[in-house]
RNA sequence: GGGCGGUUAGCUCAGCUGGUUAGAGCAUCUGAUUUACAUUCAGAAGGCCGAGGGUUCGAUCCCUUCACCGCCCACCA
């Protein structure tokens, strides 16, 4: 007798097995020529903090696939790790410092970085610990961090290689500047949000002409202080006369030219544009085209500088008000119109970004994008669901150069040194020294007085190397055993917002440095939102902590509930986790029942070797149901349809196995075959459910299948076609229908559920009678019937009894009441009529010569088949109607 | 401005190549339960499948127009 508590105590079980799996090193992958590899690389979580629900979803999906593939016999590698997440992590540490009343400038660069490493050590460990709690079957020995020594070497090498190929360049451009973080941002890091702003119409007096103005419209009037031209469309008749003339920029009294440029849209605003080359990307381009001056009016912190004259020292928004006020006094403000437009915000601190002129490093993306586009177009990389393919292609086709330098301290420092020289070779020394290792001296003048570039690289400039840098590249290259075995990896699981940041860039890096795709499948999952549809976030305070759910409902419940809700975006509230908890408990209790009832007879017995001929109908049925479910589940997992897989499992285990099979055999536990089937189906089910709910299944596996070793390294159940018994399923359906119909009758007539009732089953064939006879005990028991008589003719008049029709079996329960037989008949008649009409249409089509000759042969054949089936169906229905008469 | 997705029961969603009576979970209601599980069981009620048009013998499903919601992208100042 094995004692199990009636409640699944997940806390103890979760703890036990996550420790066991790690202690026994069950997830370590090695190069194994006898097996195919299946590799998944974790999207490394940021070391900014603890894991949120999105991580829980992302990692559960990966774990399901990895555990499934492991059971299918692949050498599976799931590479774990964390990302240093440049700006994001620096921000959280700076916020921590702010609480102490300090800024990073109170520290030296080294001291500040030490704070960051301390943070990383703490949170990096927490994240790994949390992944283990979730049940993630990662190869923990390989845990990587994007700033590990080896990884850093990869980052520097890549920089050098691209630089030498001419794909990295440095230049002055307008970039997205966050005045709060005081760093450049990439285009992807500037989030555009619609803001209600104003369109200000400013008048610029024409030089030497009384009362002549050109009116320009702008959303950022303060930038007028940096204007160096006014532009109009060359075709715009209104302004033709002004082209080449000079206007006087108010407030600063700078004389600026009126230039003609095709870019200007005559229809927008006034058709005249103020040109601020240092503060707007379009104006910058125009400035280049027309050789204009670049006047930078702003300091890096968003405060106006000495170029702003009287406005020096004002914050940009403060200056906006002041400029407008002064222009208004000068009567140079024509009007203000409300205007909604998209404004970039820093993706980390949400400050409005400023288009800012500065010297930055860029990657030329065009050449890199080419093979990456081809790979997806040709299907070498597939997106699941496929609609994301278009999103990817669209971005790649319009790709722009990537600004990779950041003016922060946390990250990979740009591997570029400048010779501060001894004055001997000024010319040569202007050339930067680009090297993966710290250069000892200037190659030109030999000076050892070298200064490294102050900037660090965009965090994604390291992440994009994840698929191979994690394997020790470039010290290990394509020829290395590990890379040859595990690269390209198999599937990538990630969120839609990461497609541009990461997925696309990994594909480009894969081709550039490894000459091959980094992975073949990309699975894009939904976003976890709260019940109101808002994205879960710490700042909104609507986040549900996965650890809290694990504590209250268990890791299996968290995993199961998340996945079954994961079709598209997930709308999660706490109650949603009950389904997983209840299901885990159901599995627990079904196993408990079996353990209590089964002697040693079922142990060590393999379902596949069973002689089905000796089994009763419910047993054949449940075995068949299992294999049918197994096949569908396997197919669903292979197609990344995880929620579908879970629904199938849920329905099978709960509705078929527990509610029917275990109920039906309740009184027959002494039957050895019942024991064998119950335990056999449980054994296979535990395997099938393991990738989804690893803890409860591992625990029960060890309780029911002692000595076989850990469940996570067992084989995935083999599908057995011969055990799918369609006839048993059909027959059982009839019985289930019968029982269910009787139950309905009982409810309708308010018969005490405990009370057994007499019943007459009327059948039309001897075969059906024999079939009922065979399963009489079960029917009686399940439907709570007594004195069931089976006859081939109706012996009771319909109006004296409740009559139910199930297939060809008519069930008559003598009662003081009438069931409306006419209604039943009408229903079937309507059905028959519809089928007949369908048949008619079909036959019409089949007689159509054009259709028969022109349509593909398979289609015609299929239609013929359908026609035959329909005919049979119609005939059958007519018979049923006749039997009702 | 461009693109994508959604609209199915009170709520959250399935419904994968068009075909019996459109499903599930939660919530509601009725009843059961000394017998693995109240985190249980049996049952009920609840749907012109967003609106219009089209294709078809037949449309939740395909085409088209529209409405509303959401997301992504975009240098009209």
Residues of A from 289 to 328 whose C-beta is within 7 A of strand B: which are they? none
3-state SS, one letter per residue, for A482-537: HHHHHCCEEEEEECCCHHHHHHHHHHHHHHHHHCCCCEEEEEECCCEEECCCCECC
> Cis bond leading into A116, ω under 30°?
no
Each residue's pLDDT tens digit, A515-529: 999 999 999 998 888
**pLDDT at A795 (0 to 100):** 45
Compute how many other C-beta atoms are within 10 angstroms of the C-beta atom of residue A33.
Answer: 8
**Is the distance from CB of A447 to CB of A424 less than 8 angstroms?**
yes
- For the CA of A530 and the C1' of B7, the distance in angstroms is 19
3-state SS, one letter per residue, for A316-330: HHHHHHHHHHHHHHC
State the pairing for strand pair A570-572/A528-530.
Answer: parallel
Closest listed residue to residue A272, CA positions, set A234, A308, A225: A234
Nearest nucleotide (CA of A217 to C1'): B77
Torsion A822-A824-A830-A832 (CA) sign: negative
Torsion A662-A668-A673-A675 (CA) sign: positive
Helix (H) or strand (E) holding A58: helix A53-71
- Where are the alpha helices (H) located in A103-164, listed in sequence order? 109-134, 149-164
C1' of nucleotide B19: residue with nearest CA:
A838
Tell me the HSE value of A101 on the side-chain side, using a 13 A CA sphere.
0
- For the CA of A792 and the C1' of B38, the distance in angstroms is 43
Cross-strand bridge partners of residue A81:
A144
How many whole angstroms separate alpha carbon A464 and alpha carbon A466? Answer: 6
Greatest alpha-carbon span in chain A: 120
Q: What ipTM was reported for this prediction?
A: 0.93
Compute how many other C-beta atoms are within 10 angstroms of the C-beta atom of residue A463.
Answer: 22
- For the CA of A859 and the C1' of B5, the distance in angstroms is 33
How big is the CA angle at A683 (ends A679 and A689), to the nearest 5 degrees?
Answer: 135
> Cis bond leading into A404, ω under 30°?
no
**pLDDT at A167 (0 to 100):** 94
**pLDDT at A797 (0 to 100):** 46
Tell me the HSE value of A611 on the side-chain side, using a 13 A CA sphere.
3
For residue A258, the SS3 value is strand
Closest listed residue to residue A512, CA positions, set A500, A523, A520, A504: A504
- Inter-CA distances, A734 with A753, A758, A770, A805, Å: 22, 19, 14, 10
How many whole angstroms separate alpha carbon A817 and alpha carbon A794? Answer: 17
Closest listed residue to residue A223, CA positions, set A287, A130, A143: A287
Buried-state track A466-492, b at ≥16 Cβ within 10 A, e below 16:
bbbbbbbbbebeeebebbebbbbbbbb
- End-to-end Cα, chain A, rounded Å: 57
How big is the CA angle at A446 (ends A442 and A447), to the nearest 5 degrees?
Answer: 75
**Is the distance from CB of A469 to CB of A155 less than 8 angstroms?**
yes
**Is the distance from CB of A315 to CB of A222 less than 8 angstroms?**
no
- For the CA of A349 and the C1' of B50, the distance in angstroms is 39
Q: Is the CB of A781 under 7 A from strand B?
A: no
Nearest nucleotide (CA of A842 to C1'): B57
pTM of the full structure: 0.86
How many whole angstroms separate alpha carbon A335 and alpha carbon A824? Answer: 77
**pLDDT at A842 (0 to 100):** 62
**What is the C-alpha radius of gyration for chain A, rounded to an integer number of angstroms?**
37
> For A244, left (φ over 0), alpha (ψ -120 to 50), or beta?
left
Nearest 5°: phi and psi at A687?
A: -65, -45
- For the CA of A649 and the C1' of B36, the distance in angstroms is 20
**pLDDT at A822 (0 to 100):** 45
**pLDDT at A542 (0 to 100):** 72
Nearest nucleotide (CA of A269 to C1'): B77
Q: Is the CB of A754 under 7 A from strand B?
A: yes
**How many residues does this entry show for chain A?**
885
- For the CA of A748 and the C1' of B44, the distance in angstroms is 10
Q: Is the CB of A634 under 7 A from strand B?
A: no
**pLDDT at A870 (0 to 100):** 62
How many whole angstroms separate alpha carbon A619 and alpha carbon A668? Answer: 12
- For the CA of A239 and the C1' of B47, the distance in angstroms is 64
Q: Which residues of chain A have pLDDT under 50?
A: 1, 794-800, 816-824, 826-827, 884-885
Q: Is the CB of A271 under 7 A from strand B?
A: yes
User: Helices A642-650 and A555-564 sit at what angle, rounded to 10 degrees?
Assistant: 110
How many whole angstroms separate alpha carbon A44 and alpha carbon A193? Answer: 27
For residue A544, give the DSSP letter.
P
Q: Is the CB of A389 under 7 A from strand B?
A: no
Sequence-separated (6 or more) residues with CB below 8 Å from residue A243: A232, A234, A258, A259, A260
Nearest 5°: phi and psi at A697?
A: -70, -40
State the pairing for strand pair A229-232/A272-275.
Answer: antiparallel
Token pair listed for A420: 């501060």
How many whole angstroms separate alpha carbon A666 and alpha carbon A778? Answer: 10
Nearest 5°: phi and psi at A520?
A: -105, -25
Q: Is the CB of A647 under 7 A from strand B?
A: yes
Cross-strand bridge partners of residue A785:
A757
Token pair listed for A374: 């081809």
Tell me the HSE value of A446 on the side-chain side, using a 13 A CA sphere.
1
Tell me the HSE value of A90 on the side-chain side, using a 13 A CA sphere.
24
Torsion A453-A455-A456-A461 (CA) sign: negative
Sequence-separated (6 or more) residues with CB below 8 Å from residue A749: A802, A815, A817
Q: In what order do the strands lie in the sheet with A757-762?
A: A785-791, A757-762, A809-814, A801-806
How many whole angstroms separate alpha carbon A62 and alpha carbon A692? Answer: 10
Closest listed residue to residue A594, CA positions, set A654, A714, A698, A681: A681
Q: Is the CB of A140 under 7 A from strand B?
A: no
Q: Is the CB of A338 under 7 A from strand B?
A: no
3-state SS, one letter per residue, for A395-453: HHHCCCCEECEECCCCCCECCEEEECCCCCCHHHHCCCEECCCCCCCCCCCCCCCEEEC
Compute how many other C-beta atoms are within 10 angstroms of the C-beta atom of residue A885.
Answer: 6
**Is the distance from CB of A305 to CB of A314 less than 8 angstroms?**
no
Q: For tokens 């199990």, what's the residue?
A: A4
For residue A351, give the DSSP letter.
P
Tally DSSP H helices, then E strands, for chain A: 29, 29
Q: Is the CB of A268 under 7 A from strand B?
A: yes
- For the CA of A641 and the C1' of B16, the distance in angstroms is 10
For residue A215, the SS3 value is strand
Using a 7 Å cut-off to protein CB atoms, list the covered nucleotides of chain B: 3-6, 12-16, 19-21, 24-26, 30-33, 36-44, 56-58, 70-77
């Amino acid at each position: 007798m094995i004692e199990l508590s009636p409640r699944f105590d997940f806390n103890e079980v979760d703890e036990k097995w996550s420790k066991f799996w790690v202690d026994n090193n069950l997830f370590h992958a090695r190069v194994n020529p006898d097996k195919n590899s299946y590799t998944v690389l974790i999207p490394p979580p940021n070391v900014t903090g603890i894991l949120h629900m999105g991580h829980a979803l992302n990692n559960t999906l990966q774990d399901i696939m990895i555990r499934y593939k492991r059971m299918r016999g692949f050498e599976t590698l799931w590479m774990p790790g964390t990302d240093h997440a440049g700006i994001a992590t620096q921000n959280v540490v700076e916020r921590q410092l702010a609480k102490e009343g300090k800024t990073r400038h109170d520290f030296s660069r080294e001291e500040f970085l030490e704070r960051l490493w301390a943070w990383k050590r703490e949170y990096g460990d927490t994240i790994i610990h949390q992944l283990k709690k979730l049940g993630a079957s990662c190869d923990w020995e390989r845990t990587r961090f994007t700033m590990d020594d080896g990884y850093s070497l990869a980052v520097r090498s890549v920089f050098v290689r691209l630089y030498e190929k001419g794909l990295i360049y440095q230049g002055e451009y307008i970039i997205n500047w966050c005045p709060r973080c005081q760093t450049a941002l990439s285009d992807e890091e500037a989030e555009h949000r619609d803001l209600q702003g104003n369109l200000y119409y400013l008048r610029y007096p024409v030089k030497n002409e009384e009362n002549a103005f050109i009116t320009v419209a702008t959303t950022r009037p303060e930038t007028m202080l940096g204007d160096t031209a006014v532009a109009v469309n060359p075709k715009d008749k209104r302004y033709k006369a002004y082209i080449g003339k000079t206007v006087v920029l108010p407030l600063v009294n700078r004389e600026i030219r009126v230039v003609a440029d095709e870019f200007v849209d005559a229809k927008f605003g006034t058709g005249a544009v103020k040109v601020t080359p240092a503060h707007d990307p379009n104006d910058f381009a125009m400035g280049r085209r027309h050789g204009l001056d670049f006047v930078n009016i702003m300091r890096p912190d968003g405060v106006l500088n000495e170029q702003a004259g009287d406005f020096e020292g004002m914050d940009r928004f403060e200056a906006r008000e002041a400029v407008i006020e002064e222009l208004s006094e000068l009567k140079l403000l024509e009007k203000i119109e409300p205007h909604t437009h998209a404004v970039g915000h820093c993706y980390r601190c949400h400050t409005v970004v400023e288009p800012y002129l500065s010297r930055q490093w860029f990657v030329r993306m065009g050449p890199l994008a080419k093979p990456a586009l081809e790979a997806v177009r040709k299907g070498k990389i597939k997106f699941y669901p496929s609609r994301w393919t278009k999103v990817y292609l669209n971005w790649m086709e319009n790709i722009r150069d990537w600004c990779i330098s950041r003016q922060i301290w946390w990250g990979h420092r740009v591997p570029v040194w400048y010779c501060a020289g001894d004055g001997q070779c000024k010319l040569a020394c202007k050339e930067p020294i680009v090297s993966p290792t710290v250069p000892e001296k200037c190659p030109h003048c030999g000076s050892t007085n070298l200064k490294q570039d102050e900037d660090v690289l965009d965090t994604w400039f390291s992440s994009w190397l994840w698929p191979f840098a994690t394997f020790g590249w470039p010290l290990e290259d394509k020829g290395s055993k590990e890379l040859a075995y595990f690269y390209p990896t198999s599937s990538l699981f990630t969120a839609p917002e990461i497609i541009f940041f990461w997925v696309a860039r990994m594909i480009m890096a894969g081709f550039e440095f490894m000459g091959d795709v980094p992975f073949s499948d990309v699975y894009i999952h939904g976003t976890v939102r709260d019940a109101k549809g808002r994205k879960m976030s710490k700042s909104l305070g609507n986040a549900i902590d996965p650890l809290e759910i694990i504590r209250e409902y268990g890791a299996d419940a968290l995993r199961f509930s998340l996945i079954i809700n994961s079709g598209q975006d997930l709308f999660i509230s706490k109650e949603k986790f009950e389904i997983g908890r209840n299901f885990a408990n159901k599995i627990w209790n079904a196993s408990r029942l079996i353990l209590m009832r089964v002697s040693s007879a079922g142990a060590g017995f393999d379902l596949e070797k069973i002689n089905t001929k000796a089994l009763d109908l419910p047993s054949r049925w449940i075995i068949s149901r299992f294999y049918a479910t197994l096949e569908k589940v396997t197919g669903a997992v292979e197609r990344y349809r995880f929620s579908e897989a879970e629904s199938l499992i849920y329905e099978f285990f709960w509705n078929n196995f527990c509610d029917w099979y275990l109920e039906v055999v309740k009184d027959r536990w002494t039957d050895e075959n019942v024991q064998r089937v119950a335990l056999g189906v449980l054994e296979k089910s535990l395997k099938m459910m393991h990738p989804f709910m690893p803890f409860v299944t591992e625990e029960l596996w060890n309780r029911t299948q002692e000595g076989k070793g850990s469940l996570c390294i067992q084989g995935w159940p083999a599908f057995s076609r011969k055990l799918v018994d369609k006839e048993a399923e059909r027959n059982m359906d009839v019985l289930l229908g019968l029982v269910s119909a009787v139950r309905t009758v009982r409810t309708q007539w308010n018969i005490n559920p405990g009370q057994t009732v007499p019943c007459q089953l009327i059948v039309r064939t001897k075969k059906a009678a024999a079939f009922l006879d065979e399963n009489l005990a079960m029917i009686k028991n399940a439907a709570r019937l007594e004195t069931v008589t089976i006859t081939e003719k109706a012996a009771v008049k319909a109006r004296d009894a409740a009559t139910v029709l199930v297939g060809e079996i008519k069930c008559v329960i003598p009662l003081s009441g009438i069931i409306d037989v006419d209604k039943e008949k009408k229903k079937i008649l309507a059905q028959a009529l519809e089928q007949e009409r369908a048949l008619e249409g079909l036959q019409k089509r089949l007689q159509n010569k054009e259709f028969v000759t022109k349509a593909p042969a398979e289609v015609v054949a299929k239609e013929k088949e359908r026609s035959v089936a329909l005919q049979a169906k119609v005939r059958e229905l007519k018979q049923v109607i006749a039997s009702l008469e």
